[in-house]
Structure 1
Amino acid sequence: MPLSEQEQRLLDEMERNLYQNDADFVATVAGRRGKPNYTLVVVGALLAIAGVAALVAGVITQLAVIGVVGFGLMLAGVLIVLSPGRRDAAEVPTSPAAGGAARPSAARSSWTERMNERWDRRQEGREG
């Protein structure tokens, strides 16, 4: 079911306000979309595979120490693969939104208060 024009306008306005008022969040979310570090992915996968092999060897030889080490290797490999790679200093945004200064959390709460007031006015308009 498509959104009505009013709902679409409200959604667009909320998105604009998000970009303006919560620039830190937008910069964080936008920063996650980068190229993965393939070296870390390969190293992590190899560690995980070595961990599986050590775990199986520990079960076969019935030595718990080898199994625990294998599990540790698997865990380390998976964590390396899933960890975000470092970004270059040039890629890190220095200012939050389009050159604007960071706004205090009071500005975010006032935006929330404005949205709550709008909601209350709409509800009053429907009832009266």
Structure 2
Amino acid sequence: MPLSEQEQRLLEEMERSLYHNDADFVASVSARRGKPSYSAVVLGILLAVAGVAVLITGVAVRLPIVGVLGFVMMFAGVFIAVTPPRRGGRVSSAPSSTARPSFMQTLGQRWEKRQHDHEE
């Protein structure tokens, strides 16, 4: 059963609203996440491996404090490796005019163009 003109307009308006809200959400979430710092990942892995070695040494020499220190080192290494780097200042969700558009922005532009072409 085909939709009436009013229902089609309402559906298109709902789609635009949904897309606009989701695009803003995706842009704000993706702007907060930085690219991984490879030096931090390497440092974290090395610290975690050293922590495993200290933990095994603590068990071998039967000193619980050394084992706990090894566990703390492992935990810190993993935390450093998986935590995204912090950026200085506030992160803006508005795209920079000099930066290349993100994947989501490109999809949004294509969607808007299709909607505009479809209306004509």
Instruction: Flag whether TM exceeds 0.5 (same fold).
Output: yes
Q: Aligned AA for 1:92?
A: V
Instruction: Check the 8 A contact 2:50/2:70 in 1, yes or no.
Output: yes
Which TM-score applies when normalising by structure 2? 0.57
Q: Structure 1 pair 79/51, CA: closer, same or farther in 2 (3 Å)?
A: same
Residue in structure 2 matched with residue 41 of structure 1 by the alignment: 41
Residue in structure 2 matched with residue 92 of structure 1 by the alignment: 91
Q: Aligned AA for 1:42?
A: V
Unaligned runs of 5+ in 2: 1-7, 97-120
**How far apart, in 1, do the equivalents of 2:54 and 2:37 lie?**
26
Residue in structure 1 matched with residue 72 of structure 2 by the alignment: 72
Aligned residues: 86
Instruction: Check the 8 A contact 2:35/2:84 in 1, yes or no.
Output: no
Residue in structure 2 matched with residue 119 of structure 1 by the alignment: none
Residue in structure 2 matched with residue 15 of structure 1 by the alignment: 19
How many percent identity over aligned positions? Answer: 47
Cα-Cα RMSD:
3.0
Deviation (angstroms), 1:58: 0.7
SS in 2 for 1:87: coil
Residue in structure 2 matched with residue 124 of structure 1 by the alignment: none
